Amino acid sequence: MKRMLQPFQFKNGVEVPNRLVLAPMTHYSSEPTGEVSEHELAYYRKRAQNVGLAITACAYVTEDGKGFPNAFGVNDDKFIPGLRQLAESLKAEGAKAILQIFHAGRMSPPELVPNEQPVSASAVAPVREGAVTPRALETSEVEAIIEAFGEATRRAIEAGFDGVEIHGANTYLIQQFFSPHSNRREDRFGGDLHGRLTFPREVIRRVKEAAADAEDFLVGYRFSPEEIEEPGITLDDTDVLLDMILAEGVDYIHASLWNFNTASMRDENVTERSIDRIAKRINGAIPLIGVGQLQRPAQVEDALEVVDLAALGRELIIDPEWLEKVKSDREDEIETELDLNKQAELAVPAPLWNAITTRAGWFPIKDQEVK
């Protein structure tokens, strides 16, 4: 049997039927008020039917943590009914449903947050054209956001999710506190490397506390191994981050990589793949999810020699029947390019479809006549 088709059991006893994961991907398709939409439910139902673990797009834990237009929230109890529908959609075919929770920090578009003022660890703008300088959070506000992650976890449990994934990757707030570029604080949430780990550590602890009485509930942590800013997070820094995560005892870690096979993006002399370094550091102590342009079954099988589970994002948007085709020996029928004539069939909401088709290079597009 292919490794990807084998069941996997987490250390807390939770078992998934296979080792494929629906990767968290932003889809811009919630209601403007932050509720889950019918379009989202159809989109997720289509893609969760074959995977073992299904991770949602990121849900903001506070009003000032929004990162995208038409994203869904988990910052108020009023969102629980819609989140319950989302969990049920993901779980309908046997997948474990994971709600990804986050705060965008300085990456928030100003027009989406109160007073059009993004916030972060320090008043340091991200390195991008037209970026707005964030307001540095007061210590009491940082503590309130930690509490908000706990409350988001409570709501996820009430909504019937099987776990939460703490989004500490992709330059959002948790990573901003860890980064020497964005964190210049002098209180207990800043300072040296270990001081900058305080916020992510306390978020993990608060989330675990909120989930303590939930049976068979997973707590995962997503991270980016490096960042391009200077000064920025290095692979050596991430070794220390991983040690902290292991010590805190989450149920899995999820390495956010654009390409599974990439090496260091800071040092061209480093040839070892980042994912191999990560796997060596944790040495099997915790399940590891890998992601990044794993298009073909052979690539996934190779990846599973290093990681415990493999996440597919764009691949399951292009072909939601990816795993079904593997199971039924139809691997040669797997689509690796998006068919622009199949939006309705693929149940891709219009805002996501528009983003895909207008952002050059994001998705491989089939060369064809559009009908």
228-262 per-position pLDDT tens digit: 999 999 999 999 999 999 999 999 999 999 999 99
Q: How confident is the model at residue 189 (pLDDT cuts 50, 70, 90)?
A: very high
Q: Identify the pLDDT of residue 371.
A: 74
pLDDT tens for each residue of 119-139: 999 999 999 999 999 999 999
Instruction: Report the number of distinct structural domains present in the chain.
Output: 1
Q: For 350-367, what is the mean pLDDT? A: 93
pLDDT tens for each residue of 81-115: 999 999 999 999 889 999 999 999 999 999 999 99
pLDDT higher than threshold 80 for residue 370 = no
Q: Identify the pLDDT of residue 93.
A: 83
Q: Is residue 289 part of a domain?
A: yes
pLDDT higher than threshold 80 for residue 212 = yes
Return the CATH number at 31.
Answer: 3.20.20.70
Q: Is residue 286 part of a domain?
A: yes
Q: Is residue 108 part of a domain?
A: yes
Is residue 172 part of the annotated active site? The answer reads yes
Q: Identify the pLDDT of residue 358.
A: 93
Sign of CA dihedral 114, 116, 122, 126: positive
Q: Is residue 328 part of a domain?
A: yes
pLDDT higher than threshold 90 for residue 50 = no
Q: Is residue 75 part of a domain?
A: yes
Q: Identify the pLDDT of residue 56.
A: 98
Q: How confident is the model at residue 325 (pLDDT cuts 50, 70, 90)?
A: very high
Q: What's the pTM?
A: 0.98
Q: What's the mean per-residue pLDDT of the chain?
A: 97
Question: How far is it, in rounded angstroms, from Cα 320 to Cα 305?
Answer: 24
pLDDT higher than threshold 80 for residue 155 = yes
Catalytic position from the list 43, 44, 60, 172: 172
pLDDT tens for each residue of 288-298: 999 999 999 99
> What residue numbers bound the domain in which 79 lies?
3-335
Q: Is residue 342 part of a domain?
A: no
Q: Identify the pLDDT of residue 273.
A: 98
pLDDT higher than threshold 90 for residue 351 = yes
Q: Identify the pLDDT of residue 53.
A: 98
Residues 6+ apart with CB under 8 A from 176: 105, 106, 120, 121, 182, 183
Q: Is residue 340 part of a domain?
A: no
Q: Is residue 349 part of a domain?
A: no
Q: How confident is the model at residue 12 (pLDDT cuts 50, 70, 90)?
A: very high
